[in-house]
Amino acid sequence: MDSARALSDARPTPFWLEDPGRPEALSALVGDTTCDLLVVGGGYSGLWTALIAKERDPGLDVVLVEGHEVGWAASGRNGGFCAASLTHGFGNGLQRWPAELAELERQGAANLQAIEDTVKRYGIDCEWERTGEIDVATQPHQLEELHEVAEAVARYGLDVTVLDADELRAQVNSPTFLGGIWDRDGVAMVHPAKLAWGLKAACLAQGVRIFERTRATELGEYGSGMAVRTPYGRVFARRVALGTNVFPSLVKRVRPYVVPVYDYALMTEPLTDAQLASIGWSGRQGLGDSANQFHYFRLSADNRILWGGYDAVYHYGGRVRGEYDQRPETFRTLAGNFLRCFPQLEGVRFSHAWGGAIDTCTRFSAFFDTAYRGRVAYAAGFTGLGVGATRFGAEVMLDLLAGERTERTSLEMVRSKPLPFPPEPVRWAGIEITKWSLDRSDRNGGHRNLWLRAMDRLGLGFDS
């Protein structure tokens, strides 16, 4: 079947957000209110910040304002790979913070465990499965790179299982797989929207006041605290935490550090038992291939396959727009690549096709700071690996607002910032040249051209 025909009935909306368990939005803020801590943004960053603030100090008066609905943005539409890595993967961490990578990995593992513990503690039904992730090679040079990563991982005393082609295909059967490395413990699969909704319920149960459809439009000092304007009211807060991700930051100087990169995903219909048997996958791991332009794929609880990634799209001007969430040419490419990976699933149809904006920064892992003399904290730039790392970001924001030096705020990764992106049109041109070069590298045995090597030396990059 032509790949486009498999898409003909795909609903143009994130599979995860269509769930009957999607809660009603809470009322907007009308009038003025005061609080100790105002959290702006109702994705994982904001929800974790509000919840952990209450756990640290149950007496704290915490308000969260969300411009649309809790979990509607990246947090409700991602691949649901919840990783321990705080550095957008081990390789990126090794390149940038070799001296503290062991500590970053340790804190990342503790963060992932804390997420699992929270899910259990509050009884959050989010289809949590600690299956791990297998990074697969589909080209010989990728196999070499994966083995190098496995050796480096071992040097740091961490554990991954190297799989040859037969061992890998015994786990998940694709004729394109040449081998892989399986991180058994460092990644969990989750229903992303149910995690966001569960965190919302936990926040409410702890006494956080949540206002949805309440966009913060202005931020300014007010007495010894801050004032935030919303469409129908104002919030006066001692401290403010910004978990606004890819959306324009209320602290304007943060904006050049983050660009919206659109990432796309397809969801198949539920597989039949025979279809599932043809690919195996009884371990239900998350998978990712190892090209610069990579796919990520996993099973849902009802045995659909989510197939996403590959085509990371930046639009000139860097706006976040609903119309960018649909991109038929990318869906068609994804559908074709899906069938090349799993030819035995010829005839399977896609039920959903969607996209969303990722907050890419030039070092691919989040950065953190304060503004307004320590009264406002922010965390942004999680790039494509924020499902787990946003909880760490929440802890960092609360540490910074408390003015505390902790194991987190002592990290070089936390104290340093990425290089900002240049203004347009240089930004767009630079990203396009980088994307073109990455594509050529994938087709050319992984060879990095002069441009990519120069970018590597500067510590600059483009990823999703």
Smallest distance from ligand FAD to CB 80, Å = 6
Q: Measured from the CB of residue 439, what is the shortest distance to ligand FAD in angstroms? A: 20
Residue nearer to ligand FAD on the CB measure, 162 or 294: 294
* CA distances for 363 relative to 14, 148, 234, 367, angstroms: 28, 21, 35, 9
Distance CA 432, CA 425 (A): 11
Task: Please name the helix (run of DSSP H) or strand (run of DSSP E) that holds residue 170, with its range, or none.
Answer: helix 165-171
Shortest Å, Cβ 441 to ligand FAD: 23
Select 119 or 452, whichever has its Cβ closest to ligand FAD.
119
| CB 445, min distance to ligand FAD, A | 28
CB 464, CB 288: distance < 8 Å: no
Q: State the nearest-atom distance from the C-beta of 366 to ligand FAD, in Å.
A: 8
CB of 115 to ligand FAD, least distance (A): 11
Q: Is residue 376 a contact partner of residue 240, using CB atoms and an 8 Å limit? A: yes
Given a contact cutoff of 8 angstroms between Cβ atoms, the answer to whether 262 and 327 are in contact is yes
Residues engaged in binding ligand FAD (CB under 6 A): 40-46, 65-68, 72-75, 77-81, 83, 215-216, 243-247, 250, 263, 265, 296, 308, 356-358, 382, 384-388, 390
Nearest-approach distance from CB 60 to ligand FAD, in angstroms: 20
Measure CA 214 to chain center. Answer: 23
209 Cβ contact partners less than 8 Å away, ≥ 6 residues apart: 33, 35, 61, 62, 63, 64
Q: Is 136 left (phi over 0), alpha (psi -120 to 50) or beta?
A: beta
Residue 49 CB, nearest distance to ligand FAD (Å)?
A: 9
Nearer to ligand FAD, 169 or 239 (CB): 239
270-278 long-range contacts, CB within 8 A, separation 24+: 270/300, 270/302, 270/303, 270/304, 271/303, 271/304, 271/305, 271/345, 271/348, 275/344, 275/345, 275/348, 276/303, 278/173, 278/344, 278/345
Kindly tell me which of 169 and 194 has the beta carbon lying closer to ligand FAD: 194
| Concatenated DSSP letters of 294-341 | -EEEEE-TTS-EEEEES--B--TT----GGGG--HHHHHHHHHHHHHH
**Cβ proximity to ligand FAD, 132 vs 452, nearer residue:** 132
Closest CA to 464 of 315, 292, 267, 209: 292
